[in-house]
Structure 1
Amino acid sequence: MREVPVLRTARFTLRAMRRSDTAALFPTLSDEAQCRYLTRPAFESEEELWGWLADPEWNGRTWIAEDAAGKVAGRFVAYPAHEDGIEEIGYITCADRQGAGVARECTAALVRHLIEGEGKRKLIAEADMRNSASIRLLERLGFSREALFREHETTHAGLCDVAIYGLLATDPLPED
């Protein structure tokens, strides 16, 4: 298992995932509308969700963002890409916290940690082209669209166009 160091922002602590986080993530990840851009449909039970979150075959890392009161605000991930020095990132904000800057603040902290703290040379993120909120976030964080794969992936929502966004360590990093 790869190390998940604690990261801090002005409003959140990003820490390793615990089994108890499933209950906080389930209302979002069991909602079809919230899962429309995932590669799989909404989860039907907390057990199914935990099996996905804690899949022992997945070689990525999960950070859970929690506020000062200990309330879970989102899940942020990083996992090795196609070669050393490159990580792919992902994120989902709990539905009741969307629109409050959680994704921007926590993803910016994760980006800075991966590049400055771990020495990654590049970060990438994949976005369903219909997910305009995620695309706007990546662009605000300084990511550039590097590729567009038309009709690239078939998911529970149908055939999807997928964009790949990238941020080099030499690019300006996002601020707090």
Structure 2
Amino acid sequence: MFEAFYPVIETKRLVLRPLAISDSESLLSIFSDAEVMKYWNTPPWTSIQNAVDFINDSKDSMLCQASLTLGVYLKPTDELAGKCMLFNYDKESKRAEIGFGLSRACWGKGYIGEAGEALIQYGFNKLGLRRIEAEIDPDNLSSANALEKLGFSREGVLRQRWEINGVVSDSALYGRLVTDEPLKLNNA
């Protein structure tokens, strides 16, 4: 099962694989962008140390099989487009939460759908998950649309769940079960 937390997953246009320290500058460039971080529950990153810490924490979490964090790389350039994660992994309950972050230059190209479905299938088929959850800011319509295209159902709202830099926001909860209709993507 250990190898399950260090996969390389290929799709038509993308490669999903564990992040390396050499990705630090690219990662910082993505997650220091206020627009990318607008709906996150943390402020934008401010230093290369944020990226290094994230990569090291991700590796530690994968070693203890608590989460799976993969870089999203574009074929054939190998450019880092962002990251995708299965986290809050609960082996006994066969459940995890999914999350994504993409460079603004990669928005609107269908990468979330492509990487998302590959990660979801990996979670269901390799990690034995029964349920994958997502929590987003209800104002984040792009994420809501992406989740719905990925076959997630909106299941509820947690009111005033987060406060970041004095801004209070709700959380919309989404879920997808292994028994839900499989998604039919046309990976352009």
Structure 1-normalised TM-score?
Answer: 0.91
- Alpha-carbon distance in 1 for matches of 2:38, 2:165: 8
Counterpart of 1:143 in structure 2 is 152
Aligned-pair Cα RMSD in Å: 1.8
- Tell me by how many angstroms 1:80 deviates: 3.2
Which of 141, 148, 171 is the matching residue for 1:132?
Answer: 141
Aligned to 1:164: 173
Matching residue's letter, 1:124: E
- For 2:77 and 2:89, the matched residues in 1 are separated by 34
Given candidates 112, 116, 121, the residue that maps to 2:125 is 116
CA contact (8 A) 2:25 2:51 kept: no
Indicate conservation of the 8 Å contact 2:134/2:175, yes or no: yes
In the TM superposition, residue 119 of structure 1 has moved relative to its aligned partner by: 1.8
1:153 corresponding residue in structure 2: 162
- Report the CA distance between 1:70 and its aligned residue: 0.9
| One-letter amino acid of the structure 1 residue matched with residue 68 of structure 2 | R
Q: Match for 2:180: what amino acid?
A: D
1:88 aligns with 2:97: yes
More helix by share: 2
5+ residue gaps, structure 2, are none
DSSP-derived class of the 2:5 partner: coil
Q: Distance in 1 between matches of 2:51 and 2:42?
A: 11
Between the aligned partners of 1:81 and 1:156, the Cα distance in structure 2 is 28
User: Pick from 35, 50, 62: which aligns with 2:69?
Assistant: 62
Count residues with an aligned counterpart: 176
2:81 to 48, 73, 85: 73
Tell me the percent identity: 28
Q: Does 1:35 align with 2:37?
A: yes
Question: In structure 2, what residue type is equivalent to 1:46?
Answer: I
Deviation sequence 1:78-108 (CA, Å, 0-9, x none):
1234553001110011121111111111011
Contact 1:128–1:161 under 8 Å retained in 2? yes
Structure 1: which 5+ residue stretches go unaligned?
none
Shift of the 32–157 alpha-carbon distance from structure 1 to 2, 3 Å rule, reads: farther
Q: Following the alignment from structure 1 to structure 2, what is the Cα–Cα distance between the partners of residues 93 and 118?
A: 24
- Residue 109 of structure 2 is aligned with which of 81, 100, 115? 100
